[in-house]
Every structure is written in structure tokens, then in C-alpha cells.
């Protein structure tokens, strides 16, 4: 979780903040990542182990049979990334171009992945949605309260 402004260096290295890396259990997920082009054309970083489990579940579903050619695109767009000792990963040129990413980025931590946004797009998104943020929180609270508490 969290929001982190980062800058790619001249070698296209992205420093994954320690605050994000600490949220990943290396015993479960390893120390690497998979980079994919997300549904919104932002880059998404998944912990290695989680991504492998996700793909294993996907392969067992009927989706690959129904969408064979589209599945090829999904697998072709995924790249395995290994961080160096400083926690940096090199982002491939093609991935950066497809996501319209320059050197100024914002990393947004989600429950199961990290989104990589061009900073200008993230700031525009915040500017657009911040005025209704309170309403969104209230709607989420209403939805949660109507479901009742989680069983213990």
C-alpha cells in the first residue's frame, strides 16, 4: 500500500521502495517480480510467487480455451524482473513505450500488485477524483456495513 514518486535512471532502473518490498513475504513470493501491462495500460508489478499462482489458476480456467489468441498477448507482455542488491529493477523499453511511461513515475501499492503510473497521469487522476473521495469512502462503508461483519 502507499504512493511513491520515483524517477527512472539512465539505465531504466526503477528503485522499488523498501516500504513496498517489506510488504512482500520472500518465503511465499520470492524476491522477484513479474511486470505486466495492466487493463488500464499502466504497468503492474506482481510478486513472483503470486503471479505464478495467478497464472496457474488462469490456465486451469476455461478462459484460455475461449480466448486463446488474447492469452498469447497476456503471456507475451509479461516480463520477469529480478531486483539488484539496491532493490532496483530494469524496466524494458517496449513495456515503457506501451504504457506511455517516461522517467517520472508514481508507484501505487495495491493489495496484490504495484501499479506504475506516469506521474503526470497519476496527478491528473488525483485531481479528478479527490473532490469526490469522501463520497467514495462513505459508499465503501455503506457496502461493507450492508454485508455485515466477517465471521471470526
Q: Label each residue of the chain as H, E or C.
A: CEEEEEECCCCCEEECCHHHHCCCCHHHHCCCEEEEECCCCCEEEEEHHHHHHHHHHHHHCCHHHHCHHHHHHHHHHCEEECCCCCCEEECCHHHHHHCCCCCEEEEEECCCCEEEEEHHHHHHHHHHHHHHHHHHHHHHHHHHHHHCCCCC
Task: Give the model confidence (pLDDT) of 6-47 as tens digits.
Answer: 999 999 999 998 888 877 877 777 789 999 998 889 999 999
According to CATH, what is the number of the domain 2-119? Answer: 3.40.1550.20
Dist. CA 18–CA 34, nearest whole Å: 17
Dist. CA 44–CA 54, nearest whole Å: 14
Domain ranges of the chain: 2-119
Mean pLDDT of the chain: 86
- Indicate the pLDDT class of residue 67, thresholds 50, 70 and 90: low
Residue 151 has pLDDT above 70, yes or no: no
pTM: 0.82
- Report the alpha-carbon angle 142-146-147, nearest 5: 120
Dist. CA 11–CA 91, nearest whole Å: 9
The burial class, CB within 10 Å (0-12 / 13-18 / 19+), for 106 is buried
Structure-model confidence comparison of residues 116 and 140, the more confident one: 116
Q: What is the pLDDT of residue 65?
A: 60
Residue 64 has pLDDT above 60, yes or no: no
**Lowest-pLDDT range of 7-11, 54-58, 138-142, 148-152:** 148-152
Residue count of the chain, please give it.
Answer: 152
Amino acid at each position: 500500500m502507499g504512493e511513491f514518486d520515483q524517477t527512472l535512471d539512465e539505465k531504466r532502473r526503477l528503485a522499488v521502495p523498501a516500504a513496498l518490498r517489506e510488504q512482500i513475504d520472500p518465503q511465499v513470493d520470492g524476491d522477484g517480480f513479474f511486470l505486466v501491462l495492466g487493463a488500464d495500460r499502466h504497468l503492474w508489478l506482481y510478486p513472483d510467487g503470486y503471479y505464478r499462482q495467478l497464472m496457474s489458476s488462469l490456465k486451469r480456467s476455461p478462459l484460455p480455451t475461449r480466448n486463446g489468441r488474447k492469452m498469447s498477448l497476456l503471456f507475451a507482455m509479461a516480463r520477469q524482473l529480478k531486483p539488484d542488491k539496491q532493490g532496483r529493477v530494469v524496466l524494458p523499453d517496449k513495456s515503457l513505450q506501451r504504457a506511455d511511461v517516461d522517467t517520472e513515475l508514481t508507484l501505487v501499492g495495491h493489495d496484490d500488485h504495484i501499479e506504475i503510473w506516469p506521474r503526470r497521469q497519476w496527478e491528473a487522476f488525483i485531481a479528478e477524483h479527490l473532490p469526490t473521495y469522501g463520497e467514495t469512502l462513505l459508499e465503501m462503508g455503506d457496502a461493507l456495513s450492508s454485508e455485515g461483519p466477517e465471521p471470526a
